[in-house]
Amino acid sequence: MNTTTQVVYERPESLTGTHTHYCPGCTHGTAHRLIAEVIDEMGLRENSIGVAPVGCSVFAYNYFNMDFVEAAHGRAPAMATGIKRVSPENTVFTYQGDGDLASIGMAEIMHASARGENITVIFINNAIYGMTGGQMAPTTLPGMKTTSSPYGRDVELAGFPIKMAELLSVMDGSGYIVRRSLHDAKHIRQAKKAVRLAFETQQRGLGFSMVELLSSCPTNWGISPQEALGFISERMIPVFPLGDYKVNPELKSIRV
């Protein structure tokens, strides 16, 4: 009998062995894995610094095996700006949710992009406030029920969802702005390539980069993990179309 075994899958060096606290079906863990794999493959771990603000993203430093700092709610781009300016040799990235980035942190993200700060932003968009009770977020879909919009988001009262990739793509300081999804294997592979190009943008000094990832929150959406993946595909993508919104021409020759 052949008892030879071969390792085909293992934890990236850039992730710790900490047991996840995320809810079943949450795709934060998938996003963590993609970031860690890219950082390992690019050999950036020893010089990487992550910035996590308040929200579910605040726990990122428990899972990433690298230097991490915590910022006040919405202020991660401001802190990342300071770190990158005093230590330009380091790879600096933020890991932010939609309530954090598109609400209280709107000024920080817009001005970081306008200044062309050479940082990378990973933006987790699950259309809801995940940690604080499932309230309506800036990205909540029209008609979507939350704890603060129990009858569904009324656009006449609360406005329309904010589309961050589209907004940031028109800023002169942006070098790479894309939107991807984490709802199936095909799109997860595409998301990893985007994360790689976002870090390549920073390595080449091409300015501000952001990868928006459509993600699930089954607990606060009130549906099963499997249904949540369908919700992304059927409900979120029509409102937040996937695609490349701005890509510096220098990146188009890179194969990942």
The C-alpha atoms of residue 37 and residue 76 are separated, in whole angstroms, by: 22
Query: What is this structure's pTM?
Result: 0.95
Q: What single-letter DSSP state applies at residue 251? A: G
Give the tens place of pLDDT for each residue, 67-121. Answer: 999 999 999 999 999 999 999 999 999 999 999 999 999 999 999 999 999 999 9
Average pLDDT of every residue of the chain: 95
The C-alpha atoms of residue 69 and residue 49 are separated, in whole angstroms, by: 8
Per-residue pLDDT, averaged over 175-200, amounts to 98
Res. 253 pLDDT band, cuts 50 70 90: confident
Q: What is the DSSP track for 12-61?
A: -TTB--PPP-SPTT-SHHHHHHHHHHHHHHHT-GGGEEEEE-SSGGGGHH
- What pLDDT shows up at residue 195? 98
Q: Are 81 and 112 in contact (CB under 8 A)?
A: yes
Closest residue by Cα to residue 97 from 130, 146, 136, 61: 130
Give the tens place of pLDDT for each residue, 137-184. Answer: 999 999 999 999 999 999 999 999 999 999 999 999 999 999 999 999
Q: What values do phi and psi take at 71, rounded to 5?
A: -110, 160
Count how many Cα atoms sit within 13 Å of the Cα of residue 205 in the half-sphere of its side chain: 3
- What pLDDT shows up at residue 96? 97
Give the tens place of pLDDT for each residue, 42-54. Answer: 999 999 999 999 8
- What pLDDT shows up at residue 2? 67
- pLDDT greater than 70 at residue 1: no
In CATH terms, the superfamily for domain 28-251 is: Thiamin diphosphate (ThDP)-binding fold, Pyr/PP domains (3.40.50.970)
- State the CB neighbour count (10 A cutoff) for residue 235: 15
- pLDDT greater than 90 at residue 57: no
- Between residues 134 and 65, the one the model is more confident about: 65
